Amino acid sequence: MNQIIYVGKHLLAFSVNRHAHDSWELIYCTGGGGCLSFDDRAIDYTENDVIVIPPGTPHINESIVGFTNIHVNMLDPTLSVKAPTLIRADSSGFLLGAFSAAFFYYSDPGKNPSLLAAYGDLICRHLMSSQSAPARSKVVEQIENAIISNYPDCNFELDEFLRSFPFSDDYLRKMFKRETGVTPHRFLSDKRLEIAASCLSSTHNDGQNITEIAHLCGFREPLYFSRMFKKKYGVSPSGYALHAAQ
């Protein structure tokens, strides 16, 4: 599922002729805007929008001002849409980062092919949550976006960021947990561990060691990472990877 088979870019374009794909196409508009025309509808889009197009759907992409985008083709994505769909991207920059990373790892698979598969999962999961998640308060949304944007950085100080708000730590913790189900620190830890699990379970993992994955997911100490991973998943990172490979 969520297998990325192609990633491309339009640096600046004003039209793309009518065409269709055998696979799903996910288009992230990185700049400008335009209109995607289908046989039975038209979808206007602008910067930071994502358009999901099912296989075998002819479409034309046209713009007066011009557009730039990153387009990803996938097999069997875990998305609930049945027709061309516009998804408004959130303001965190997470999806832009994920699409950009997918382009990077697709362009040079030798660098880290395991992450290409992981980013396919992340893109689909984030798009699904964008469709179904209830509205967040502004403060909770800011905290969530900061965590999503900074989780790979082992030097990210969540406590310091939380102190930038004019509220007590206890108030912020309760507010965040009420809307998300977990505390900010748990949200950060779970996000890092979920990314690590995606890397470990990828069929494209080419011998990447536990220390590398720990650092890529924001953990400074591999031993601490292994302990936290086993606490969440009930098995060590190496055991998880071995089971996924079977």
| Domain CATH for 230 | 1.10.10.60
Beta strands in 39-115 (DSSP E): 42-46, 49-53, 59-75, 85-88
| Residue 233 confidence (pLDDT) | 82
Decide if 125 is inside a domain: no
Give the residue with greater pLDDT, 202 vs 170. Answer: 170
Neighbours of 233 (CB within 10 A): 16
Q: Place 82 in a pLDDT band, splitting at 50, 70 and 90.
A: confident
CA distance 50 to 27: 5
Q: What is the mean pLDDT of the chain?
A: 85
Query: Which residue among 110, 126, 146 closes a domain?
Result: 110
Whether 24 and 68 share a structural domain: yes
Whether 9 and 60 share a structural domain: yes
* Chain-centre distance for alpha carbon 154: 19
Decide if 89 is inside a domain: yes
Whether 7 and 97 share a structural domain: yes
Q: Place 216 in a pLDDT band, splitting at 50, 70 and 90.
A: confident
- In which domain, by residue range, is 234 found? 134-245
Strand, coil or helix: 51: strand
| Residue 144 confidence (pLDDT) | 86
Whether 93 and 159 share a structural domain: no
Q: Which of 87, 24, 21 is nearest to 50 (CA)?
A: 87
Interior/surface letters 139-164, b for 16+ CB within 10 angstroms, e for the rest: bbebbbbbbbebbbeeeeebeeebee
Q: Place 90 in a pLDDT band, splitting at 50, 70 and 90.
A: low
Strand, coil or helix: 153: coil
Q: Place 61 in a pLDDT band, splitting at 50, 70 and 90.
A: very high
Decide if 99 is inside a domain: yes
Give the residue with greater pLDDT, 154 vs 94. Answer: 154
Whether 70 and 153 share a structural domain: no
pLDDT tens per residue across span 13-45: 999 999 999 999 999 999 999 999 999 889 999
- H-state helical runs in the chain: 94-107, 113-132, 138-150, 158-162, 169-180, 184-201, 210-216, 222-233, 237-245
Instruction: Give the residue-averaged pLDDT of 140-145.
Output: 87
| Residue 245 confidence (pLDDT) | 56
The number of distinct structural domains making up the chain is 2
DSSP letter (8 states) at residue 155: T
Domain with residue 26: its CATH number is: 2.60.120.280
- Could you tell me the sign of the dihedral formed by the alpha carbons of 106, 108, 109, 113, in that order? negative
Q: What is the pTM of this model?
A: 0.59
| Residue 203 confidence (pLDDT) | 42
Instruction: Give the residue-averaged pLDDT of 185-211.
Output: 75
Query: Which residue among 78, 110, 142 closes a domain?
Result: 110
Whether 167 and 83 share a structural domain: no
Decide if 122 is inside a domain: no
Give the phi and the psi of residue 7 in degrees, each rounded to 5: -140, 130
Whether the predicted pLDDT of 113 surpasses 80 = no
Whether 38 and 98 share a structural domain: yes
Give the residue with greater pLDDT, 35 vs 2. Answer: 35
Cβ(50)–Cβ(83) below 8 Å: no
Decide if 121 is inside a domain: no
Whether 103 and 138 share a structural domain: no
Decide if 124 is inside a domain: no
Q: What are the residues facing 191 on neighbouring strands?
A: none
Decide if 150 is inside a domain: yes
Q: Place 51 in a pLDDT band, splitting at 50, 70 and 90.
A: very high
| Residue 208 confidence (pLDDT) | 59
Instruction: Give the residue-averaged pLDDT of 53-60.
Output: 96
